[in-house]
Amino acid sequence: MNGTIEAPTIEYALLAPLLVVFGAAIVGVLVEAFAPRYLRSAIHLPLTLLSLAGAFALAVWQAVKGVPTKPAAMGAVAVDGPALFIWGTILILAFVSVLLIKDEEHFVGSAAAVPGSAEEEQSLIERAAHTEVYPLLLFAVGGMLLFPAANDLLVAFVALEVMSLPLYLLCGLARRRRLLSQEAAVKYFLLGAFSSAFFLYGTALLYGYAGSVDLAKINQALGSVGGQDTLLYIGAAMLGVGLLFKIGAAPFQAWKPDVYQGSPTPITALMASGTLVAAFGALLRVFWVGLGGLDWDWRPVLYGVAILTMVVGAILAITQTDIKRMLAYSSIAHGGFLLIGVIATGATRAENTSALSGLLFYLVAYGFTTVGAFAVITMVRDAGGEAWHLSRWAGLGKRSPLLAGVFAFFLLAFAGIPLTSGFFGKYAVFQAAVANGATPLVIIGVIASAIAAFFYVRVIVLMFFSDPAADGPSVVLPSRGTAAVVGIAALATVVLGVFPQPVLDLAHAAAQSLFVR
């Protein structure tokens, strides 16, 4: 021991997108602390949007400049092709979700006031607003960026918490149906805390096995360490539970419908798109890089989980009467389809690349459509807020054909009808799976798709083929932000459905190098 400690090297340029988002979040907190109330919103919005756009530009610049082949920050964060692609996706989706949030109607004036109390009344009169949502959201987005790029399990855990904690809070801030919203927040928090604990426990056990939390070193240890298999298997299983929870894979899906239903819709949109993308990125990295040598063991388990997830998602969605719950189950089913891509690893690099690029494409396609669908939901309102009950949507096609048409289009994309983005997403994943010998899984996948098509189509039937109720919901004139979100999402769904090649190329290029080790 010579007593000197080498100073760690941090590649600031590589991490710039992360730093920008976190920096803006901290500035946002300062704004909350020092800026006068009436100015806050006016500062937050441009700050948030600019920081997300800036981070996106930096990520693109990084991708153009050349993708690094080594992990950054002393091996803690891997800024590689897939990570940059996922960053880009999350940043765009977050940007779009912020445009929805801008319409502050969705958030409660004073979250601490008991629902129905005099304080609540008072906060309404004062037109109080929680402008904290912007910095909270930025922290969550920062966590989403770090999570899929984390190259060791500890950083992954930190990222997981940074991503989740603000979301727990944001879930409870809905302006209407507040009890439901608070229930969602508590549920999400309790279950999320459990899953984080699982993740951390798994990390500890794997550390006990491999002597490191670094993913690459764990993978090396798989071949060399003997006699510690109990630690390894229990550790890997617990890690898996933590990750699968975030995706909402069955049997860890129970939180999703409640949370999606209770949260303010813009937050649901962010969770359904951004969080899912981030969680899949992390899942891929942990299973492909960290536990890549163990694939003979985890593959059958994920096989089962994928089947269960698709079937549970598709079947339970049929029984839903709340549109947001239905989309939550649909999101569970899509998680199952995406898991097929995780399993579709092959013997050769090219096969893995095709599976990875398929997954990346699917995530982009699904993310845009989801944000668009939730944006439409924010616009269909009853006296008491959004028209959540499905029966209220009857005859919407006659009252406002354009909006209903766009929503129907999103639903068809979810169902995976050709000439929509959803079709190519599914196709890319299924193709990779068939090429790698998972044909039975794909057959179950298409059966689940057929079941899922039923409840998407049912909404279309309601909107277009049923007669409108006399006191049906009104469609609010969208704010410019909401209109832009719906427009962007619809455009992305069309373009990715007709000319998917550019994005496929991009995903392929990103996947080319696979994950750095």
Partner 1 sequence: MPWLSTLMGVSVLGALGVTLVRNDKLAKQFTLVVSLIVLALTVAMAVQFSPNGDKFQFSETYDWIPQFGVHYAVAVDGIALVLILLSVILVPIVVLASWHDAEAGKRSVRTYFSLLLVLEAMMIGVFAATDVFLFYVFFEAMLIPMYFMIGSYGGAQRSYAAVKFLLYSLFGGLLMLVAVIALYSIAGKGTFMFSDLVGTIQDVTTQKWLFLGFFIAFAIKAPLWPFHTWLPDAAAQAPAGAAVLLVGVLDKVGTYGMLRFCLELFPDAAKFFTPLVITLSVIGIVYGAIVAIGQTDMKRLIAYTSVSHFGFIALGVFAMTTNAGAGATLYMVNHGFSTGALFLIAGFLIYRRGSQFIADYGGVQKVAPILAGTFLVAGLSSLSLPGLSTFVSEFMVLSGTYERYVVPTVIATVGVILAAIYILWMYQRMMNGPTAESVKTLPDLNLREKFVVAPLIALLVIFGFYPKPLLDVINPAVKDTLTSVSVTDPHPAVPVAQEGQQ
Distance CA 224, CA 211 (A): 12
Q: Does 350 bind partner 1 (CB under 8 A)?
A: no
Residue closest to 273 by CA, chosen among 97, 490, 486: 97
Question: Which residue lies nearer to partner 1 by CB, 241 or 360?
Answer: 360
Q: Does 61 bind partner 1 (CB under 8 A)?
A: no
Residue closest to 313 by CA, chosen among 291, 338, 296, 294: 338
Question: Which residue lies nearer to partner 1 by CB, 289 or 504?
Answer: 504
Residue 386 phi, psi (nearest 5): -65, 145
Is 236:221 a contact under the CB 8 Å cutoff? no
Q: Does 435 bind partner 1 (CB under 8 A)?
A: yes
Q: Does 293 bind partner 1 (CB under 8 A)?
A: no
Binding part of the chain for partner 1, among 208-216, 227-235, 254-262, 430-438 by CB under 8 A, reads 430-438
User: What Å distances lie between residue 110 and 37, 95, 117, CA to CA?
Assistant: 14, 25, 11
Q: Does 491 bind partner 1 (CB under 8 A)?
A: no
Rounded least distance, CB 186 to partner 1, Å: 38
Q: Which of 434, 475, 484, 495 binds partner 1 (CB under 8 A)?
A: 434
Rounded least distance, CB 436 to partner 1, Å: 9
Q: Does 419 bind partner 1 (CB under 8 A)?
A: yes
Sign of CA dihedral 84, 11, 288, 147: negative
3-state secondary structure of 11: coil
Q: Does 500 bind partner 1 (CB under 8 A)?
A: yes
What is the spatial order of strands in the sheet that 474-475 belongs to? 385-386, 380-382, 474-475
Q: Does 494 bind partner 1 (CB under 8 A)?
A: no
Binding part of the chain for partner 1, among 24-32, 154-162, 286-294, 464-472 by CB under 8 A, reads 464-472
Site size toward partner 1, by CB under 8 A: 36
Q: Does 465 bind partner 1 (CB under 8 A)?
A: yes
**End-to-end Cα, the chain, rounded Å:** 28
Q: Does 303 bind partner 1 (CB under 8 A)?
A: no
Question: Which residue lies nearer to partner 1 by CB, 220 or 431?
Answer: 431
Question: Which residue lies nearer to partner 1 by CB, 39 or 450?
Answer: 450
Q: Does 439 bind partner 1 (CB under 8 A)?
A: yes
Rounded least distance, CB 487 to partner 1, Å: 18
Distance CA 36, CA 247 (A): 39
Rounded least distance, CB 457 to partner 1, Å: 6
Question: Which residue lies nearer to partner 1 by CB, 190 or 461?
Answer: 461
Residue closest to 294 by CA, chosen among 215, 403, 361: 215
Q: Does 417 bind partner 1 (CB under 8 A)?
A: yes
Rounded least distance, CB 296 to partner 1, Å: 22
Q: Does 447 bind partner 1 (CB under 8 A)?
A: yes
Alpha-carbon dihedral angle through residues 363, 369, 373, 378, given to the nearest 10 degrees: 80
Q: Does 512 bind partner 1 (CB under 8 A)?
A: no
Question: Which residue lies nearer to partner 1 by CB, 273 or 357?
Answer: 357
3-state secondary structure of 176: coil
Q: Does 505 bind partner 1 (CB under 8 A)?
A: yes
Question: Which residue lies nearer to partner 1 by CB, 289 or 514?
Answer: 514
User: What Å distances lie between residue 32 and 12, 42, 134, 170, CA to CA?
Assistant: 27, 12, 10, 16
Rounded least distance, CB 311 to partner 1, Å: 15
Q: Does 501 bind partner 1 (CB under 8 A)?
A: yes
The DSSP annotation for 341-406 comes to HHH---SSHHHHHHHHHHHHHHHHHHHHHHHHHHHHHHHEEETTEE--BGGGGTTHHHH-HHHHHH
Phi-psi region of 250 (alpha: psi -120 to 50; beta: other; left: phi over 0): beta
Q: Which of 212, 466, 474, 512 binds partner 1 (CB under 8 A)?
A: 466
Q: Which of 106, 256, 508, 517 binds partner 1 (CB under 8 A)?
A: 508
Q: Does 453 bind partner 1 (CB under 8 A)?
A: yes
Question: Which residue lies nearer to partner 1 by CB, 209 or 329?
Answer: 329
Q: Does 12 bind partner 1 (CB under 8 A)?
A: no
Q: Write down the residue that tokens 């920008």 correspond to.
A: 20
Binding part of the chain for partner 1, among 53-61, 222-230, 469-477, 498-506 by CB under 8 A, reads 498-506
Residue 69 phi, psi (nearest 5): -105, 0
Distance CA 42, CA 69 (A): 41
Distance CA 307, CA 452 (A): 14
Structure tokens at 67: 């993708």
Structure tokens at 415: 């169902």
Distance CA 248, CA 235 (A): 20
Q: Which of 15, 411, 412, 488 binds partner 1 (CB under 8 A)?
A: 412
Distance CA 110, CA 175 (A): 9
The residue ranges that bind partner 1 (CB under 8 A) are 398, 401, 412, 415, 417-419, 423-424, 427-428, 430-431, 434-435, 439, 442-443, 446-447, 449-450, 453-454, 457-458, 460-461, 464-466, 500-501, 504-505, 508
